[in-house]
Amino acid sequence: MAFRPQRTVLLALALMGGVLLHGQTVQALDRLSDDLCGCIQRVDATAPDIKLDASVRRCLEDAVVYHPATVNALIRREKGEGTKAFHLGRSLGTLLDRDCPAFQVVKVRLQQIQTTGSLKMGRT
């Protein structure tokens, strides 16, 4: 019976650790979203296709480089068929659609790009 209070304390610490881990994950996702949206806001949506494509690629590459743990968590969270790049693109696109008003203009332009090697063509 002497171990029961210790078990209770350990259980409470484990549960608190899970809550803290979830909170840290949410904060990390918010930082990724803020950084990515800030970069997208600086993209010139009126630029020529090749420059627009390169600017968006740079934003996405920076997100991966500066937030690797969060990016890995996004990839692991995705279910279904497709490559890791596909799942990451879908996750980041959803994040931008939800949290970044500036992305809407850039998204329209990206959808109009029909060149080989563009993000729309899936060649990253």
Q: What is the pLDDT along the chain (124 residues), one digit of tens a residue?
A: 444 544 443 333 333 333 333 455 789 999 999 999 999 999 999 999 999 999 999 999 999 999 999 998 888 888 888 898 888 988 999 999 999 999 999 999 888 886 445 555 554 4
Does the residue 120 lie in any domain? no
| Residue in 29, 20, 40, 38 with CA at minimum distance from that of residue 69 | 29
Tell me, yes or no, whether 13 lies in a domain: no
Domain with 64 in it: 28-112
Residue 118 domain-assigned?
no
Q: Torsion over CA of 28, 34, 39 and 41, rounded to 10 degrees?
A: 160
Question: Is residue 58 in a domain?
Answer: yes
Q: Domain for residue 2, yes or no? A: no
- At 43, which amino acid appears? V
pTM: 0.71
pLDDT at 75: 87
